[in-house]
Amino acid sequence: MRHRSFIALAVALVVMIGGAVAVYAYDSTRTDKVAKGISVSGIDLGGMTRSQARTALDQQLAAPLSRPLVVKYGRERFRLSARRAHLRTNVDAIVDEAMRRSRQGNIVTRSWRSLTGGEVHAQLTPEISYSHAAVERLVRRVKSQLDRPAVDATVSFTSGAFQPVPSHQGNAIRGVELTRNIEAALVMPDGDRVVRAHSKITKPKVTTDQLAQRYPAIIIVDRNAKQLKFYRHLSLNHTYRIAVGMVGLETPAGLYHIQNKQINPPWNVPHSSWAGKLAGKVIPGGAPNNPLKARWLGIFNGAGIHGTDNIASLGTAASHGCIRMSIPDVEQLYPHVPVGAPVYIS
């Protein structure tokens, strides 16, 4: 009886040992196989060897990512190569991770899973790196070529007159959105590697319709004709007869702006030879020997527009650089010309 028990035990041991050996042998054949249920970015690696998994990832992941990315806007095209983007994919590391996941559990659970068709259920995400600086450079390049700033309406002064310049809307590429879309497309192997840029319209601060309101007063001085033309909201309001600077003391030509205004201004006599004994003195406003009568509109470096009681000088080049007007005329003009109003002297 004892002999039979010994034989039975021996047989059981042999069977167990044989089974263990068989399980070990079977598990050893799976060391280079990816378990079922493991995928990388939707690429099923289940049942592949390490070499096959790497080839699959090279072909289906790394190769598509190596294609250049193209930004489109209308007919314009901007390319970013994988090399310039410093695009890198960790294929070897992700294959190592797939093999590690495949070997999880003990020898028995691994073998049982394999024999019964069980799966690991692991969806792995590869590490795809790129240069953010390269993306920023691409976006800057796109914007530099496609952005068009809005143009404010303005007035151009030339040839003794002015010309309204109309406003234009601008165009601005949506840079933040474009950056985000480029970065998403760079790491997407199954995309078409095309990113479409979008833009927004930018409006001018001053439109053509607002231009007249922006220029309530413009003064045009024609030294040859001895005329001052006053425009209100870009329309001619009045033409005045004036006197301008004499030879050697000419009224300065160019574009200026009204710098200051005064009623009955004092006269700060310049240190010039023509001033004689008055040079350097200050003659009070309204004084008989003060040639600046009634009103003063300062323009540039001591020159300005003022009234005069020397009516005979109007229509001539008789002043020491200022623009003379009759007293009624300068009084009429004065309240309509704000500080900052342009004065164009031709």
The pLDDT of residue 15: 46
The three-state secondary structure class of 257 is: strand
Low pLDDT (below 50) residues in the chain: 10-11, 14-15, 18-20, 22-28
pLDDT of residue 108: 63
Q: For residue 306, indicate whether it is catalytic.
A: yes
Answer for the pair 196, 177: CB distance below 8 angstroms, yes or no.
Answer: no
CATH class name, domain 215-345: mainly beta
* Residue 275 to residue 267: CA distance in whole angstroms: 12
pLDDT for 99 equals 85
Catalytic pick from 238, 257, 322, 336? 322
Q: Distance between CA atoms of 304 and 318, rounded to whole angstroms?
A: 14
Q: Please, are residues 99 and 61 in contact by the beta-carbon 8 Å criterion?
A: no
Which H or E element spans position 263?
strand 260-263
Which one is catalytic: 238, 306, 320, 336? 306
Q: How many CB atoms lie within 10 A of CB 307?
A: 22
- Quick one: how far is CA 206 from the chain centroid? 20
Strand (E) or helix (H) holding 114: helix 107-115
For 246-292, what is each residue's pLDDT tens digit?
A: 999 999 999 999 999 999 999 888 777 777 777 777 888 889 889 99
pLDDT of residue 2: 58
CA distances for 90 relative to 52, 126, 179, angstroms:
16, 6, 23
Beta carbons within 10 angstroms of residue 83's beta carbon = 10
pLDDT tens digits for range 70-117: 999 999 999 999 999 999 999 999 999 988 888 886 676 665 566 566
The ranges assigned to domains in the chain are 133-207, 215-345
Catalytic annotation present for 322: yes
pTM of the predicted protein model: 0.67
Residue 32 and residue 55: Cα distance in Å, rounded?
14
Asked if residue 146 lies in contact with residue 107, where contact means CB atoms within 8 angstroms, the answer is no
Count of CB atoms situated within 10 Å of the CB of 267: 19
Give the pLDDT confidence score for residue 26 in this predicted structure: 43
Q: Give the pLDDT of residue 274.
A: 74
Query: Cα separation of 245 and 256, whole Å?
Result: 16
User: What is the Cα Rg of the chain in Å?
Assistant: 45
